[in-house]
Amino acid sequence: MRYAHVVVDIPTRALDGAFDYAIPDELADEVQVGTTVLVSFSRRKSVGYVVAVTDAPVVRIDPSKVHPVLQVLAPPAFDLGAARVASWMAREYACPPCEAIRPFLAPGQLVKVRREGDEPWQLVCERSGPVDVRWVRLAPAERPFEPRKNASRQRAVLAALAAGPVRMAELSATIPGASQAVSALERNGAVVVESRRRVRGGNDTSLSSAQAPRHERLTAGQREALAAIDAAREAGAGDVVLVDGVTGSGKTEVYLEAIEHAREQGKGALVLVPEISLTAQTVGRFRSRFGDDVAVLHSRLSAGERYDQWELVRQGLAHVVVGARSALFAPLSEVGLIIIDEEHEGSYKQGSAPRYHARELAARLARERRCALVLGSATPSVESLSRCEAGEWGGVRWTRVSMPERPGGATLPKVSIVDMTRQFEEGNRSIFSSELRGALEEVLERREKAVLLLNRRGFATFLMCRECGCVPECPHCSTALTYHERTHQLACHTCGRTWPTAAWPDVAASCPNCGSRYMGAFGVGTQRVEDELAMIVGDRAEVIRMDADTTAAKGGHQRLLERFDAADCAVLVGTQMIAKGLDFPEVTLVGVINADTTLKLPDFRAAERTYDLLEQVAGRAGRGERAGRVIVQTYWAGHPAIQAVARHDRSLFLAPELEDRREANYPPFARLANVVASGRDERAVRMTLDDLAADLRRRLQGQPGWEVLGPADCLKARAKDRVRRHLMVKAPANANMGGLLGTCARELGRRPGVSVAVDVDCHDLI
C-alpha cells in the first residue's frame, strides 16, 4: 500500500501540516506529488494537495485507520521541489500550508468542488474552454486594413502582428484591451484567430515594436556580470549575483545573454519584472531573442490566458518565463536562472497571504533548483548590498558586479538641487523654482521633451488648521481627508466616501480640534501643478498628466505613453509611476517638484525609498545622444539621500543610513515583523493582541536580540470601520521568526470577528 501525504485546503493556522491518506489501487497511477485530490477531513469532504507519496504513513498511526484518497480532481501541478519550497514558505511567513501551495496550482483552479447526483466530484474552475493555444495572425489581403482613426489598440495589435502570428495571451499581456481589439479586427476580416494544439518551432514570431538588437561589443561591466552569472549557474548551488548597474547601463542585454547560455545547456529561466514595467517593450525584447520559447505570466491576464501560458511551460514548450512576482510559481522544472529586475522595488513583497518577498522566495527556490539567482538594479536594496558586502548569506555566495557606465559614451545626467526655502525667501510663491522654469523654457525652445515628477505620497491637498495643525480625518477610517478643488469635495482614499465641503460639519469653516477659523488647503494638488504648468507652456507643447486618476481605465497608462512618444515636444507630469522603465531618448530634462515629501513618512525605509525614486527618475534623462539635465526641488537640500542623488554617489546616503539602522536595530541588522489584528469589536482586538504580546514576551525572555514592541494602534487605526492594532517584533538577522510567530498565532485563543495578519519582513508599516 502507498500513502499520500496531503495538505488539506482549509485555511486556518490550526492545521499546520499534512495528513496521510491511503492510495487505493485503482488510483495508484494517478496520485502523484502535485495532484489535487478529494479526501474526507473531520467527516467532511475536502480538497487537498499531495505533497509526498510514501510507502508508510509519515505520521505514526495504525495503517488500518488511515482514510483513503477518494478521488483525483486535477493532474499534477507541481513537483517535489516546489512542494518543499511551499512548505518553507508556510513556515517562514507563518501562513497556513494550503495558502502557500495555492500559488503553485494551475491558474483558475478554485478550491470549490461540485457534484451532480451520483457523478464524481468536480473542481470548479474559473477558466473555460480548451487547452488549445489561440494564435492571431494577419488575414491575407490585397491592401492592409486601416483601422478607424481613434482605434489605437487595433493599431497596436496590427503592429504586433506585422512580423508574424502571436499568441492571444501574449497580445493581452502586452496590449491592454487586446481581446476586444482582436474581435473587432476579426469581424472586419483583418485578422484570423485560430486554435493550435502545438506551438510552432522557430522564432519567427516577434513584436516589431520592441527589438533587442544584438550588440557588437559588450561593455567591460557587462562582460564581467555575464561571467559572474555563468559561474554561479555552473556552480549549481543557488549562488546570487547582484548586477549593480546604473540606469541605462544595459542590464537587459546581460540578462538576455545569460539566458542564452543557460538555454544552450538545456536550462530555462524565470524573469521577474515589476508589474508596471511589464509592457510590450519589455516582453518584446525577450521575444525578439527567444521567440516562442517565451511565456508571459501576470495578473492582468484572464484566467484562461494565464492557464494557456502556464500550460505551455508545464508541457515544456516554453522555457523562458517573463512575468510579475507570481512567475516564480511557474512549473518550470529545469531552471538555470532566476532573474529579478529592479530588485529594490517594494512591490516584490506580497501584501496578502502568503506574504512572501520575491527576493527571499527566489533565493530559496534557487537553492532547491540548484541554479543561479540574478538581482539587477541601479539602486539595489540595502539588504542585498549588505549581503554582498558579507559575501555570503543563507549558505550561498552573494557577489556584486558593478556596471558604472552607459554603453556608447552616453553619460549620466547632471543633477542640480534647488533649495526651495531660498525661493520662498526670495519671494517666489510659485511651485516652480526659477531654475526649473528656465530649464523648461529651454526644452520648449529646442523642441525636446521633459518629465516632471510629483512625489505623490503626501502630495495630495489636505485641509489643515493653520493654528493647531489638525487635519480632519474620515470618521470610519483614520485617513486624512483630501480636498478636491474642482468638485469642492472632501474624500477618504481608504473607503472612498466623499462629502461636499459644505456638508462636512463645520470643518470647512472651523477646526474640529480648536475651533480656529483658519482652515486652509495644505499641499499642492496635481491640478495646481498642471494649471501653473499650462501658464508656462501655453500652446507650445503637449502636457500629459499621468497619475492614478488618468490611468484608472484599462490601458490608460500605455495610451498616455504612446501620446508622449508620438508628440514632437511634450511635458509628462506624473506620480511615482513615471519613474520606472521609461526609455525615451528625447527626454533631456527631468524635474522633481517636491523631492522630500516621502522623507517624512514614518517608515524606516523612507530615506531609502526617496533615494531610489530620485535616482531612478533622474535616469530617465539623457538616454539618447543629447545630454540630460535633472533639477530636484527640495526643502531639505542637506539630506544625505538628496546629496547622494546630486552627485550620483550612493555612499553619501548609504553610510549614514546604515549607521542609523544599526543603532536603531533595523534591517539589514535585524529582522522585523508586524502583526496586525483587526475587527469591529475594539475590546476583542485589544485582548487578542495583549494575549499575543504576553505570550511572545514569555517565550522570548532572555533571548538576546529579540524585542516585542507594542501593542499600539496602527497609524491607520481604523479602516472601513474596523479597529486596527499592531505589535512589532524585532529579531536577529538570521532568526527564524515565522516559526515562533506561527506557533504563537496558532495557540492564540480564537475571538470571533478578529483577524490576525502576520507579516514577516514587513514592508508596509502603516
Which residues bind to ligand ADP, rule: CB under 6 A? 215, 217-219, 222, 245, 247-253, 407-408, 583
List the interface residues with Zn ion, window 374-413 (CB under 5 A): none
Whether 50 and 74 have beta carbons less than 8 Å apart is answered as: no
Q: What track of x and - describes contact with Zn ion for positions 458 through 477 (by CB under 5 A)?
A: -------x-xx-x---x-xx
* CB of residue 388 to ligand ADP, shortest distance in Å: 18
* CB of residue 230 to ligand ADP, shortest distance in Å: 17
**For ligand ADP, the closer CB: 253 or 615:** 253
Q: Select the residue whose beta carbon is closest to ligand ADP and give its number.
A: 250
Dihedral sign (CA 52, 102, 326, 754): negative
DSSP 8-state symbol, 460: S
Q: What track of x and - describes contact with Zn ion for positions 615 through 644 (by CB under 5 A)?
A: ------------------------------
The option from ligand ADP, Zn ion, none interacting with 245 (CB < 5 to 8 A, set by class) reads ligand ADP
Cα distance between the two ends of the chain: 52
Q: Which triple of cell numbers denotes residue 57?
A: 504513513
303 binds Zn ion (CB under 5 A): no
**For Zn ion, the closer CB: 54 or 513:** 513
The option from Zn ion, ligand ADP, none interacting with 215 (CB < 5 to 8 A, set by class) reads ligand ADP
Q: Which triple of cell numbers denotes residue 374?
A: 540574478
* CB of residue 454 to ligand ADP, shortest distance in Å: 23
* CB of residue 511 to Zn ion, shortest distance in Å: 3
Pick one of 157, 396, 511, 533: the residue that binds Zn ion (CB under 5 A): 511
* CB of residue 486 to Zn ion, shortest distance in Å: 20
DSSP 8-state symbol, 411: -
| H or E element, residue 114 | strand 109-114
**For ligand ADP, the closer CB: 222 or 551:** 222
* CB of residue 460 to ligand ADP, shortest distance in Å: 30
Q: Cα angle at 115 between 112 and 118, to 5 degrees?
A: 155
* CB of residue 581 to ligand ADP, shortest distance in Å: 8
Sheet strand arrangement including 722-732: 707-719, 722-732, 670-679, 755-760
**For ligand ADP, the closer CB: 532 or 583:** 583
* CB of residue 251 to ligand ADP, shortest distance in Å: 4
Q: Which triple of cell numbers denotes residue 353?
A: 497571504
**For ligand ADP, the closer CB: 68 or 407:** 407
Q: What track of x and - describes contact with Zn ion for positions 476 through 495 (by CB under 5 A)?
A: xx--------------x-xx
Q: Which triple of cell numbers denotes residue 72?
A: 483525483
Residue 155's nearest CA partner among 140, 132, 175 is: 175
The option from ligand ADP, Zn ion, none interacting with 703 (CB < 5 to 8 A, set by class) reads none
* CB of residue 402 to ligand ADP, shortest distance in Å: 12
* CB of residue 674 to Zn ion, shortest distance in Å: 22
Residue with cell 509592457: 279
Residue 478's nearest CA partner among 766, 715, 764 is: 715
* CB of residue 495 to Zn ion, shortest distance in Å: 3
Residue with cell 508596471: 276
Cis peptide upstream of residue 711 (ω within 30 degrees of 0): yes
* CB of residue 763 to ligand ADP, shortest distance in Å: 23
**For Zn ion, the closer CB: 95 or 492:** 492
**For ligand ADP, the closer CB: 341 or 360:** 341
The option from ligand ADP, Zn ion, none interacting with 59 (CB < 5 to 8 A, set by class) reads none
Question: Could you tell me the maximum CA-CA distance found in the chain, to the nearest angstrom?
Answer: 88
The option from Zn ion, ligand ADP, none interacting with 751 (CB < 5 to 8 A, set by class) reads none
* CB of residue 36 to ligand ADP, shortest distance in Å: 39
Q: Enumerate residues 6+ apart whose C-beta is below 8 A from 292.
A: 199, 200, 201, 202, 203, 205, 317, 318
Whether 579 and 592 have beta carbons less than 8 Å apart is answered as: no
Q: Which triple of cell numbers denotes residue 423?
A: 525661493
| Helix/strand/coil (H/E/C) assignment for every residue in 326-364 | HHHHCCCCCEEEEEEECCCCHHHECCCCCCCEHHHHHHH
Sheet strand arrangement including 587-592: 414-419, 629-634, 587-592, 449-453, 570-574, 542-546
* CB of residue 500 to Zn ion, shortest distance in Å: 16
The option from Zn ion, ligand ADP, none interacting with 123 (CB < 5 to 8 A, set by class) reads none
Whether 179 and 166 have beta carbons less than 8 Å apart is answered as: no
516 binds Zn ion (CB under 5 A): yes
Residue 598's nearest CA partner among 576, 582, 619 is: 576
Residues forming a β-bridge with 573: 452, 545
**For ligand ADP, the closer CB: 215 or 540:** 215
Distance CA 493, CA 474 (A): 9
Q: Is 739 helix (H, G, I), strand (E, B) or coil?
A: helix
The option from Zn ion, ligand ADP, none interacting with 476 (CB < 5 to 8 A, set by class) reads Zn ion
The option from Zn ion, ligand ADP, none interacting with 90 (CB < 5 to 8 A, set by class) reads none
**For ligand ADP, the closer CB: 213 or 752:** 213
| H or E element, residue 710 | strand 707-719
Whether 372 and 397 have beta carbons less than 8 Å apart is answered as: no
**For ligand ADP, the closer CB: 172 or 222:** 222
Q: What is the dihedral of CA 739, 745, 746, 748, to 10 degrees?
A: 140
The option from Zn ion, ligand ADP, none interacting with 695 (CB < 5 to 8 A, set by class) reads none
Whether 685 and 692 have beta carbons less than 8 Å apart is answered as: no
Q: What is the dihedral of CA 420, 422, 427, 430, to 10 degrees?
A: -10
Distance CA 390, CA 758 (A): 29
520 binds Zn ion (CB under 5 A): no
509 binds Zn ion (CB under 5 A): no
**For ligand ADP, the closer CB: 257 or 360:** 257
**For ligand ADP, the closer CB: 35 or 222:** 222
The option from Zn ion, ligand ADP, none interacting with 302 (CB < 5 to 8 A, set by class) reads none
Q: What is the dihedral of CA 198, 258, 209, 407, to 10 degrees?
A: -170
How many Cα atoms within 13 Å fall on the side-chain side of residue 568? 7
* CB of residue 211 to ligand ADP, shortest distance in Å: 9
DSSP 8-state symbol, 480: B
DSSP 8-state symbol, 473: B
**For Zn ion, the closer CB: 322 or 492:** 492
* CB of residue 455 to Zn ion, shortest distance in Å: 23
Q: What track of x and - describes contact with Zn ion for positions 305 through 344 (by CB under 5 A)?
A: ----------------------------------------
Q: Which triple of cell numbers denotes residue 672?
A: 522585523
39 binds Zn ion (CB under 5 A): no
**For Zn ion, the closer CB: 514 or 655:** 514
The option from ligand ADP, Zn ion, none interacting with 355 (CB < 5 to 8 A, set by class) reads none
Residue with cell 539630506: 639
**For ligand ADP, the closer CB: 252 or 678:** 252
- Within 445-510, strands assigned E span 449-453, 462-465, 482-484, 489-491, 498-500
**For ligand ADP, the closer CB: 24 or 407:** 407
* CB of residue 566 to Zn ion, shortest distance in Å: 40
**For ligand ADP, the closer CB: 35 or 384:** 384
Residue 668's nearest CA partner among 396, 399, 341, 387 is: 387
The option from Zn ion, ligand ADP, none interacting with 248 (CB < 5 to 8 A, set by class) reads ligand ADP
Query: What does the binding site for Zn ion look like in residue numbers (CB under 5 A)?
Result: 465, 467-468, 470, 474, 476-477, 492, 494-495, 511, 513-514, 516
